[in-house]
Chain A
Amino acid sequence: MDISKIRHIDEISQNGPFLPSGVKEKGHMGDSGKMLESIHEAIVKSGLKDGMTISFHHHFRNGDYIVNMVLDEIARMGIKNLTVAASSLASCHAPMIEHIKNGVVTHIETSGMRGELAEQISRGLMDFPVVFRSHGGRAAAIARGELHIDVAFLGAPSCDPLGNANGYIREEEGGTMCGSLGYAKVDAQYADKVVIITDNIVPYPNTPFGIPAVQVDYIVPVENIGDPAGIMSGATRYTKNPKELLIAKSAAEVIMNSGYFYDGFAMQMGSGGASLATVRFLRERMEQENIHAHFALGGITGQIVEMHEEGLIDKILDVQSFDLQAAKSLKDNRFHAQIDGCFYAGYDDNGAAVNALDFVVLSALEIDTNFNVNVLTGSDGVIRGAIGGHPDTAAGAGLSVVVGPLTRGRIPTVVKEVNTVVTPGSIVDVFVTEQGIAVNPRRQDIIDKLTDAGIELTDIETLREKAEKIVGKPDPIKYLDRVVGVVLYRDNTVIDQVRQIDESEL
């Protein structure tokens, strides 16, 4: 063997410690190629084309800037016929109306919508019906490929240069915090391309992460992702409204005597005044009788956090943080867990958290004498709400309690037939108003327990008559034949439709 003919390690090794120059370069991330200069660049690089589906989360609620920013740029670039699959839409998304008129957006999938956008759609703005899904239904559809997302544009209050994104900023107490990124996580996991839009680049690693870097393709730093005031309040206050307190007290009595209130129970509360106040009354009993909860799910507010910190609730499962107190707790406390939409409520997932609930307290725009609930359209037939996790939690919980005033102004809450069925009566157990409690006849077990406890019950037809006696008999809403919305139950089958309202005689 000719030793002089053996090649030097430097000449043959690509991966060796010595580079041709002989000097080892210090380890560095190099340019991941993910950080971009603008939303425009992200849209180009993502390969977005006409007819594709883009998605957004709604953790910034009515302070969101992301949807409008991205759609404005897409429109400028001349891309058309897109499906917008947002986890929900708010009244700040009214600018979408122009994009719809110009053919930029032709299809929408969402949990709900409000404001001018919703009203225009109710009046026939779009050619194709909007698809309304529950949170669990959307997550399941994305996971199973029924809802295929080409590009997800996800706003994040903090993100590192590789893409680890969070709903909070470690160093700051305020800013554009949103807490849990639960609904965004599913998009990040399954979308073809994921773009994180942030107003705060932090040093690597932004761990623990809400969205891991491996799921992220591009990162775009911008001035502002949203308006903190519109995103969340400092703390959710208990209502002082005497009617809501009366309803809450009644609802708490129902729960405490239903058999579902025992040491180690699991609960979810809605965000309305009465359902939130119900917690306050339950808390008193929990303290008196040493009853604690294994977990609280939802929809998390500062009150839940306080109860957890006082040892009344073991664990928190947070798919959406409602106030800064909750967001801060999610940041600081590892037993306040961030969960995604599938973990929360995916319907074909027997491990979904909603199935472990003992009870859930929900609100309603309307409920009918068959206990069907409408949380999507108003009594005038116009879209003004969101399905959210309503049918998911009602289906999963041992006891579903709907709370509401008998009338809202001149609008009766209890009617013969709801304008839109969102949650079917078969999974709605109790309806609590300030003028009476009605239990679904399907739940004889609850009727017996409450009657034994001395709680006076009425039936839902009596409540409907009471409401009608006060407000009068409303004229039926006139609709046209055109379908403007398709409402899916949590298993993504069609449960109802929303038709265009007929304003010809107004």
Chain B
Amino acid sequence: MRLRRSMMFVPGNNPGMIKDAGIFGADCIMFDLEDSVAMTEKDTARFLVYNALMTLDYGNIEKVVRINDLSSGLGVEDLEAIVRAKPDVIRLPKTENAQDVIDCEVEIERIEREAGIPVGSTGMMAAIETAGGVLNAYEIAHASKRLIGIALGAEDYVTDLKTTRSDDGTELFFARGMILNAARSAGIDALDTVYSDVNNEEGFRREATLIKKMGFSGKSIINPRQIEPLHEIFMPREKDLIKSRAIMEAIREANERGSGVASLNGKMIDRPVVLRARYLLELAGEDPDGEQEQE
């Protein structure tokens, strides 16, 4: 189960940042061809990200590329290049509705076939950045099997709402709620928006704590300094880890007995419980299938 606590934003036209992106410990790297790249440099950024993905080794980090939206004409050209470089996920900006997702999927599938890439191997992610998009979150989240998650893009969203970002995030309350619920109803991840004041660690922590409590899987970040506090906040509580280890131990014992049913403290352990236990252990950097130490 892939952790997506931190998705680090890397402008696609910056070779220095592209080459170093893998060392900071982020769970995902998002190479951006869209808003951080000037109109005159869309071509150079595309070449840079394509060549980087083809050549550099990012280890186990999830590689995400944010393309330009398809209506601009740039988006299709981005896909032609990037899909062939086999990133893990294509992030679609300004997703309004399910059709946007489907249109993108059609292109991706076409290119996968042409290039001999196993169809379906390129994942997708939809970024929602408008009021309309937020209201359509449910249909967007269910629009394609390729979707690994949906995300909130707050800057454009608050402009659409005719308000501004604030410290306590009141203006994002509804959007976050919708996106989170839509994502979970489709069984995919929900990612929160960027916190742009890099020097305000306290503010960042407050926001990260809030979205973690709500149930988000993670958050986009724009500076490596944000990674550590974010991962710290997503660290499960010790008592939850103890319980998770016990659950995994019970599962293992049941398997050894050849039994299909496992129980802990008299209660049967069903599948969602196991998945949650695995998830918590992975957040803590522990191996869910390893030998559990008895506390």
Contacts and interface: CB of A to CB of B under 8 A. Distances in A.
Nearest to B19: A470
Contacts of A434: 23
B57 A242 contact: no
A245 B226 CA distance: 13
Nearest to B59: A435
Interface in A202-251: 240, 242-243, 245-246
B223 interface: yes
Interface in A418-450: 434-435
Contact of B23 (A240, A246, A469): A246
10 contacts: A240-B225, A242-B223, A242-B224, A242-B225, A243-B23, A245-B225, A246-B23, A246-B24, A246-B224, A434-B23
Contacts of A245: 225
A434 B224 CA distance: 13
Nearest to B16: A409
Contacts of A469: 57
B223 A470 contact: no
B238 interface: no
Nearest to B224: A242
Given A242-B225, A246-B23, A246-B25, 14 more contacts: A240-B225, A242-B24, A242-B223, A242-B224, A243-B20, A243-B23, A245-B225, A246-B24, A246-B224, A434-B23, A435-B23, A469-B57, A470-B19, A470-B56
B25 to A, nearest CB: 8
Nearest to B22: A435
Interface in B8-24: 19-20, 23-24
Nearest to B23: A434
Nearest to A247: B23
- On chain B, which size bracket covers the interface? 10 to 19
B294 to A, nearest CB: 19
Nearest to A240: B225
Residue of B23, B24, B57, B225 contacting most chain A CB atoms (<10 Å): B23
Contacts of B25: 246
A160 to B, nearest CB: 48
Contacts of A470: 19, 56
Contacts of B23: 243, 246, 434-435
Secondary structure class of chain A's binding surface, majority of residues: helix
Interface of A: 240, 242-243, 245-246, 434-435, 469-470
A363 B293 CA distance: 40
Nearest to A409: B16
A435 B24 CA distance: 9
Nearest to A245: B225
Interface in B33-82: 56-57
Contacts of B20: 243
Secondary structure class of chain B's binding surface, majority of residues: helix
A435 B57 CA distance: 13
Q: Which 9 A-B pairs have the closest CB atoms?
A: A242-B224, A434-B23, A242-B225, A242-B24, A435-B23, A243-B20, A243-B23, A246-B23, A246-B24
A470 B16 CA distance: 13
Residue of A240, A242, A243, A434 contacting most chain B CB atoms (<10 Å): A242
B78 to A, nearest CB: 26
A246 B25 CA distance: 10
Contacts of B225: 240, 242, 245
Contacts of B224: 242, 246
Interface string B221-237: 00111000000000000
B186 to A, nearest CB: 35
B18 to A, nearest CB: 12
A469 B24 CA distance: 19
A246 B21 CA distance: 13
Contacts of A240: 225
B51 to A, nearest CB: 14
Contacts of A435: 23
A335 to B, nearest CB: 35
A272 to B, nearest CB: 18
A245 B25 CA distance: 13
Nearest to B199: A240
Contacts of B56: 470
A383 B57 CA distance: 33
B56 to A, nearest CB: 7
A139 B229 CA distance: 47
Interface in B203-232: 223-225
A251 to B, nearest CB: 15
B112 to A, nearest CB: 28
Nearest to B57: A469
B7 to A, nearest CB: 16
A243 B24 CA distance: 8
A135 B109 CA distance: 66
Contacts of A242: 24, 223-225
Interface string B131-156: 00000000000000000000000000
Contacts of B57: 469
A240 B226 CA distance: 12
A24 to B, nearest CB: 71
Contacts of B24: 242, 246
A405 to B, nearest CB: 9
A243 B223 CA distance: 11
Contacts of B19: 470
A469 B22 CA distance: 14
Nearest to B198: A240
A246 B225 CA distance: 10
A501 to B, nearest CB: 28
A469 B19 CA distance: 12
Nearest to B24: A242
A243 B20 CA distance: 9
A156 to B, nearest CB: 41
B234 to A, nearest CB: 19
A380 B152 CA distance: 48
A238 to B, nearest CB: 13
B146 to A, nearest CB: 31
Nearest to B56: A470
B11 to A, nearest CB: 15
Interface string B96-116: 000000000000000000000
A2 to B, nearest CB: 99
A418 B45 CA distance: 36
A246 B23 CA distance: 9
B120 to A, nearest CB: 30
A469 B25 CA distance: 20
A242 to B, nearest CB: 4
A294 to B, nearest CB: 31
Contacts of A246: 23-25, 224
A434 B24 CA distance: 8
A242 B24 CA distance: 8
A252 to B, nearest CB: 14
Nearest to B225: A242
A469 B23 CA distance: 15
